Amino acid sequence: MSFQEECFLDCPYCGEPISVLVDCSLDQQTYVEDCQVCCQPMVIHAVVDEDGVPSVYAQREDE
């Protein structure tokens, strides 16, 4: 069973707040997603702790 949670972060390109869905059944994940505002590709890093609480951050794809 997959449990997804909506998380919020700021785009590393335009600085606008955006939301992403994190699959909380995985301990950690890294994937590329386009910003919903400026359409630039960013690398999303998500880590889910032992209580199932996700933390996310994004970096520019060209970093």
Q: Which residue has the tokens 């939301």?
A: 19
The pLDDT-based confidence of 30 (bands split at 50, 70, 90) is very high
* Predicted pLDDT at 22: 93
Calculate mean pLDDT across residues 36-62.
95
Q: 30, 22 in Cβ contact below 8 A?
A: no
* Predicted pLDDT at 63: 77
**How many CB atoms within 10 Å of residue 18?**
19
Please give the full DSSP string across the chain, using - where no structure is assigned: ---EEEEEEE-TTT--EEEEEEETTSSEEEEEEE-TTT--EEEEEEEE-TTS-EEEEEEETT-
